[in-house]
Amino acid sequence: MSRTNLSRRGFTGSLLAATALSACAVQPEAPAKARVVVIGGGFGGTTAAKFLRLEDPGIAVTLVEPKSAFSTCPGSNYVIGGLSKMSDITHGYAALTGVHGVRHVREMAVAVDPVAKTVRTSGGQTLAYDRLVMSPGIDLRWGAIAGYDEAASARMPHAWQAGPQTELLRRQLEAMPDGGVVALAIPGMPYRCPPGPYERISMIANYLKTAKPRSKILALDAKDAFSKQPLFQDGWAALYPGLIEWVPLGKDGKVVEVVSGEMTLVSDFGQRHKVAVANVIPPQFAGKIARDAGLADQAGWCPVDPFTFESRQAKNIHVIGDASIAGAMPKSGFAASSQAKFVARAIAAAINGRPAEAPVFANTCYSLVGPDYGISVADIYRSTPQGIVAVQGAGGVSPRTPADAAAFRHLEAMYTHGWYASATKEIWG
């Protein structure tokens, strides 16, 4: 509790100091009230950058993101399944820079100095900040599954960061002969997008069902239960009978080793699965820049103040999105964007001397089980000194047996695409 108060006091105090400093600096244009650097141009970072400018155009915002366009993980399963193209899920930063006046530094953030309050970039720039928003997403833990390193991912794609890996997995599915086995290795919690692997199973099954009907999916899971499980399994039974075998941890589902040269996955108890296509989703941790800056705990994720998302390890740095430990909130694009809006508003409030508000966050995650069969999970969240919790009695998953199931799943399939259109318009549009 006292930690929360201290960090909030520091929050306002240091910003006031920063404002005073910038007022003294000689600048050709109207001086910024404060400088905010944002690391990472995904759902969290891009939202934070845009909403900081919407909240207060007097704040100078710099986004550090090497890519000129961002391919989203949401929607990437539809590319893998052949329903969408990469261009459908790729978004540039033209509106962010041109309309909203965010400065985009197209370099990697390579080091953070929390004392000097600077970020060093791959191009050798040093960017000073009053507040730093870190939304670096995830890195894959190479070697956590024996034999699964970056080289192995060229043969056995993870496709858990959208881009060339997404296209590689799609090409492998297209090249696979009918009758092949497609294996997925699915990690234990926590990881990016809890329902993601199961939507991916669904989209691959949808492709195989018509294009390669003698093929099978072998889903090897390092856990015994998963997000929206009954809804997914009902859908699989209805749409893809006999096509999917899901093997939980308790039935030796955990993959502990891969032999990429032999397209073989090895389970904890030594079963060897030789397959035609292997999608290995390895365990993950916070993006490198956050770990290098000392913001992560031993498990590799970043503890934050649940009221401000300010790092527990360093003042003036907010960690949002997948890299943060956000209590009951899942590692999802929607959650990251929700956190970003609140943090942007909280930073602007502090700069302008307004009191901090009680946080409220939301998450809504749609998944396609089939092209016309959508399901969802949603929650509203509030902050407590012990962490972020979901509001009881609200939220939850789609009903398992709605009165008109076909109509319900159809609507939620439409809303899956509707959410994507709205969210990406709000963030990159």
Partner 1 sequence: MTQLPRLASAALLVLAACAGQASAQALAPTSGRTLAATCTGCHGPGGHSPGEIPSIYGKTETQIVQALTEFRSDRRPATMMNRHAKGFTEAEIAAIAKEVATWR
Which residues of the shown chain bind partner 1 in the complex (CB under 8 A)?
1-2, 4-5, 8-9, 12, 51, 307, 334, 337-338, 341-342, 345, 354-362, 364, 376, 378-380, 382-385, 389, 391-396, 398, 408, 411-412, 414-415, 417-423, 425-426, 429
Residue 59's beta-bridge partner residues? 34
Place of tokens 């930690």: 3
Half-sphere exposure of 400 (CA within 13 A, CB side): 7
- The nearer residue to partner 1, 322 or 412, going by C-beta atoms, is 412
* Residue with smaller CB distance to partner 1, 86 or 95: 95
- The residues pairing with 255 across neighbouring beta strands, listed in sequence order, are 267
Other Cβ atoms closer than 10 A to 270: 9
Inter-CA distances, 350 with 6, 55, 356, Å: 14, 12, 7
User: Smallest distance from the beta carbon of 405 to partner 1, in angstroms?
Assistant: 12
Q: At what angle do helices 196-211 and 164-175 cross, to 10 degrees?
A: 30
Q: How far is the CB of 382 from partner 1 (least distance, A)?
A: 4
- Spatial separation of the C-alpha atoms in residues 90 and 176, rounded to whole Å: 26
Rounded Cα–Cα distance for residues 48 and 341 (Å): 6
Strands (DSSP E) contained in 297-353 are 302-303, 317-319, 324-325
How near is the Cβ of 397 to partner 1 at its closest, in Å? Answer: 9
What are φ and ψ of residue 59, in 5° steps? -90, 130
**Pick 240 or 419: Cβ nearer partner 1:** 419
> Among residues 126 and 384, whose Cβ is nearest to partner 1?
384
Least distance from C-beta 365 to partner 1, angstroms? 11
In this structure, what token pair is assigned to residue 103?
Answer: 């400065």
CB nearer partner 1, residue 181 or residue 389? 389
Rounded-to-10 torsion of CA 147, 153, 157, 162: 130
Nearer to partner 1, 2 or 298 (CB): 2
Rounded to a whole number of angstroms, the minimum distance from the CB of residue 310 to partner 1 is 13
In the complex, the smallest distance separating the C-beta of residue 221 from partner 1, rounded to whole angstroms, is: 27
Task: Kindly state the DSSP code that residue 385 receives in the 8-state scheme.
Answer: T
Cβ-based nearer residue to partner 1, 240 or 361? 361
Shortest distance in whole angstroms from residue 314 CB to partner 1: 20
